[in-house]
Structure 1
Amino acid sequence: MTNFAQDSIPEKEDLTEEAELKFQAYFFKALSDKSIGNHQKAIENLESCNQLLASNTAVYFEFSKNYLALNNVNLAKEYITRALEQEPNNVWMLKHLVKVYQKENNLNDAILTQKKLVAINPKEKPFLVRLYLYNRAYDKAILLMELLENENALTADLKRIKQRLNTRKVPEQKAVKLNDISVLEKKFQQVKSYETLKQILKISESNTINLLKYSEEGISLFPAQPLVYLMKARALNNQKMYKKALSTLNNGIDFVIEEEMEVDFYIEMANSYKGLGNKNEENKYLQKAKQLKS
């Protein structure tokens, strides 16, 4: 079903009645194509709209959404920028721009845009917290969570995150570019770097004991990083400890921001439910992963 809160119907300006009807037909067809994942066809219909009525904000917005779905970040950003030039305080467009910045891993600009959203609507603060967490700006995240707590607006999942951050010291992050596991382990003993840990976890995926050991340490050291929860759950699933794996995944999904990571979580949840023999829940999470991928 089309979400008309976001997919606004363009105003018909300076068009003959016949052209207006054609414009609306193309636009509705574009929305329909987008809803079933036919993004290239949606773009073709939007191009027809653009020929009839150039520089329309809603058309630009739809262009951007379809290009983002096709992973064409440059064009997605170009069109949402054009749309925002006409409606700089449009909440739906600003939210979309945050997604575009996330897609290109530009968290600094995503945070700046989210701050603008917060200025328009203070209820957008929780997602700003998540962006801070993902950008490892833990101090800023904690300060904002304390503000939300004072406003009685801190959600249960963010309360858990705040508690973990307050009870665990997050060490300085330093990048390491090494592949040898023994060297990485030695380096990690000297400097508890998240970048080093990520490489250890990647290399250890086929070594369940190592994977469990380092993912558990990762949760203790880096409680806001979803990868460590995912890797621990993977190790637990390998050991057929499916209920513990699900509990770990449910704890870690609070920190997930990127869709790609969310897909990985859903697939791992499906694996846990498969191990438990719960076919309905397995299919449910596989479908969630499939929807995010499309």
Structure 2
Amino acid sequence: MKKLQIYGLLLLGTIGTPNAVLAQTEPHEVVVLDNGFEDNFYEALKQKGIENYDKAIESLRKCETANPDDPIVYFELGKNYLAQKKYKEAYDNFEKVTKMDPKNRWAWVGMYDVCYEQHDYNKAIPIVEKLVEFKEDYKEDLTSLYMNTQQFDKALDLINELNEKFGKTDKRELYKADILKDAKYQAAEKNNLLNQIKKNPKDESNYIALIYMYSQSNQEEKAMEIAKKLEQAIPTSDWAQVSLFKFHLNNNDGDNAVKAMNIVLPSKKIDQKIKHRILNEFLIFAKNNPKYEPDLDKAIAYFDNDKEIKVAKEIGKFYYAKTNFTKAAKYFEMHLKNNEDDVETQQLLLQSYVETQQFEAVEKRAEELIQFFPTQPQFYYYAGLANNQLKNFKKAANQLEAGLDFVIEDTALEINFNIQLGEAYNGLGDMKKKEKYFTKANELINKQKK
């Protein structure tokens, strides 16, 4: 802002005027040249300070009358009108200042404030382009304005310019990711990244971004080409191994895929979601290539402390869904070593044992679980089922009758309990109770069909 002009008071005839003339002049006839600017201006500042904007504006209008060519009056009027949300008046006064003094940055800022408050981003753009001449920092604002007005080509150019000059920011990267969802901007960005790689071959982030873009557009060969360039430029790069892992799997090269995977999984640089994806891809590969199963087991160990996804459990479920119950049981057991209270997995493991007819294992684990979870009916059921298969009919009947009391609103489980109780009493030779429980099971089945 221009410094405030202070207008002094001038008494006519007090300097260099003969005493004789003074003697002829009465005190009330002495003319004081005071147009009141200074008093009115400070009064305006005082009233604005206490948010009495109407009175401040009233005083400033008096200043305007006294000195219509002073830009500070219009600047203060603009601020007071803006505080009152009288946007047109505020804008007009700020604009008047810029016409009187084009280098007054704060007046341009005032116009920008008005546009921003009104969400008139198109009108704000030429103002901010002017502000950039004063201070380059305003390019950040200009980027946001281009985004808000969907001028994505200009936004992308400016983002790349700022990234190269000042380094990346989270905000700009989010903007960029948003823009690049539209395929029409991706070609330009790929070229930009290629140029950045030439200029800065040791900047890993440009390779990663380009690999990702090629992968998203199903240009796997180009993605692999960039991954190899990254590996050559930065041999220690963990990110290069992410793409190389995929390349090796596609070529059915399990040994090199394992090497890449074992670099990626322990890396602190790689996002956990990417690690999960790699493990899932290797799981499918190992399913079709059983000799790599030990490598799969080793890979799972990297996820022992993963709080989001229980990897061994998920792999167990994968094999369970494929009816490979032997492998399912193996991974459920692995998970349960550190998660004994996971009731769901305990049940899946027991069922896996049943499917592979490991009834002694079912009986042993189910009885242990009854001690830890005495109100969970499923464990009584599995204990009873196992003992029936082992011909321990009396024990089976006792366990099943005890567990049946805990079955609540679970018809399927209740049916199974009754069937196993019928089997137990059949084994004990009690035909009356056998019929009782089989009849009850049939009633529940018919009721369920309705």
TM-score by length of 1: 0.48
- Greater relative contact order: 1 or 2 (C-alpha under 8 angstroms, separation 6 or more)? 1
TM-score by length of 2: 0.33
